[in-house]
Amino acid sequence: MQQAAMQQAAAEQLAAQQQAAAMAPCVAKADKCVSYIQAAAGDAKAAGKGVQALGTLMVDSKGKVDAQRQAAVAQAGGAAVLQAMAQHATNAPLQAVAMDTLSHFINGSADISAAVCAAGGVTLLLAAMANHSHAFVQRRAVTLAARLARSGGSAVCAGLAQAGALQAVTAALQAHGGEDARTVLVACIFFETLLCDPVVAMPVAREVWSANVVPLVQSALPIHAAADRSGKMQAAVERLATIMAQAKQAFAAAGPHGAV
């Protein structure tokens, strides 16, 4: 029994060493990108190029995010991306590319989502939304919020709700929902994720209801019908409407204290 355990431990150690060796070139490139970002502290355009380069390191030859590269690059460069957002808060293009890169970093990873939030990522995201009304910034911010929520679990969902992300995403919908189909889609996914989380579902439902989010996204459907060839936006809107209808029934069943 002891010998078998030792053999398993040795095998696991060897696998870890092999994985580290395989990732070494990728990590070295990530470190170079980080150095480039840090050296470009006063140059937002140059820093943006470094941030964008970090994002490309996670993609394999087939154009898909590789999980091992994702973890390695996020660990090596995540702090530098957040630092660049903080240093260049007034530069809209950098904010957009940084949020794109962070979304790629997360890509379903609960650990990375939690790490981004713990390092101030939600605060930086909301600051970008407050500072830049451009549709391309708002779209990426809503996408990042949805990625954080879907990947991070209850703690991240609660953090987003408490920080004011619901109000910020609603404002983005109101400002750009009629012109940007992607914003409508990812906003629906964001709200749906929070509404399906048992920790924050009730207060989120109240906020979504009071802000008339469902009529807002429903009104965008005919505007973006031609662009929504896959039907993803319509499906997301319908799911959100269904969840909110169920929430209304739950509120009614709860009596006066549960009414919206």
Is residue 194 assigned to a domain?
Answer: yes
In the predicted model, is pLDDT for residue 1 greater than 80? no
In the predicted model, is pLDDT for residue 238 greater than 80? yes
Is residue 87 within 8 A of residue 41, CB to CB? The reply is yes
Pair 182, 160 in one domain:
yes
Pair 162, 247 in one domain:
yes
Pair 101, 114 in one domain:
no
Pair 116, 101 in one domain:
no
In the predicted model, is pLDDT for residue 206 greater than 80? yes
Pair 116, 188 in one domain:
yes
Is residue 1 assigned to a domain?
Answer: no
Is residue 4 assigned to a domain?
Answer: no
Question: Among residues 77, 106, 135, which one ends one of the domains?
Answer: 106
Pair 82, 185 in one domain:
no
Pair 128, 169 in one domain:
yes
Pair 136, 259 in one domain:
yes
The CA distance from 87 to 124, in Å, is 11
- pLDDT category at 255 given cuts 50, 70, 90 is low
Residue with structure tokens 């404002």? Answer: 171
Domain of 194, in residue numbers:
108-260
Please state the three-class secondary structure of the chain as a single string.
CHHHHHHHHHHHHHHHHHHHHHHHHHHHHHHHHHHHHHHCCCCHHHHHHHHHHHHHCCECCCCCECHHHHHHHHHHHHHHHHHHHHHCCCCHHHHHHHHHHHHHHHCCCHHHHHHHHHCCHHHHHHHHHHHCCCHHHHHHHHHHHHHHHHHHCHHHHHHHHHHCHHHHHHHHHHHHCCCCHHHHHHHHHHHHHHHCCCCCHHHHHHHHHHCCHHHHHHHHCCCCCCCCCCCHHHHHHHHHHHHHHHHHHHHHHCCCCCCC
Is residue 140 assigned to a domain?
Answer: yes
Q: What is the pLDDT of residues 177-205, one digit of tens each?
A: 999 999 999 999 999 999 999 999 999 99
Pair 114, 235 in one domain:
yes
Pair 150, 97 in one domain:
no
Is residue 6 assigned to a domain?
Answer: no
Query: What is the token pair recorded at 187?
Result: 């906003």
Is residue 142 assigned to a domain?
Answer: yes
The CA distance from 149 to 232, in Å, is 19
Q: What is the pLDDT of residue 68?
A: 84
Query: What is the token pair recorded at 119?
Result: 């390092």
Pair 82, 139 in one domain:
no
Residue 93: name the closest of 140, 48, 144, 138 by CA. Answer: 48
- pLDDT category at 5 given cuts 50, 70, 90 is low
More confident residue, 133 or 3: 133
Is residue 75 assigned to a domain?
Answer: yes
Helix pair angle (213-220, 201-210), 10° resolution: 60
Q: What is the pLDDT of residue 22?
A: 63
Q: What is the pLDDT of residues 101-121, one digit of tens each?
A: 999 899 889 999 999 999 999
When divided into structural domains, the chain yields a total of 2
- Per-residue pLDDT averaged across 150-165, rounded? 96
Pair 31, 138 in one domain:
no
Is residue 8 assigned to a domain?
Answer: no
Residues across the chain: 260
- What is the chain's mean pLDDT, rounded? 89
**Ramachandran bin of 235, using left for φ above 0, alpha for ψ from -120 to 50, beta for the remaining angles:** alpha
Q: What is the pLDDT of residue 21?
A: 65
Question: Among residues 87, 106, 125, which one ends one of the domains?
Answer: 106
Q: What is the pLDDT of residues 15-72, one digit of tens each?
A: 555 556 667 888 889 899 999 999 987 899 999 999 999 988 887 777 777 788 888 8
Question: Among residues 52, 83, 106, which one ends one of the domains?
Answer: 106
Residue 252: name the closest of 240, 242, 241, 260 by CA. Answer: 260
**5 burial type by CB count under 10 A (0-12 exposed, 13-18 middle, 19+ buried):** exposed
Is residue 148 within 8 A of residue 113, CB to CB? The reply is yes
Is residue 185 within 8 A of residue 233, CB to CB? The reply is yes
Residue with structure tokens 């991070």? Answer: 152
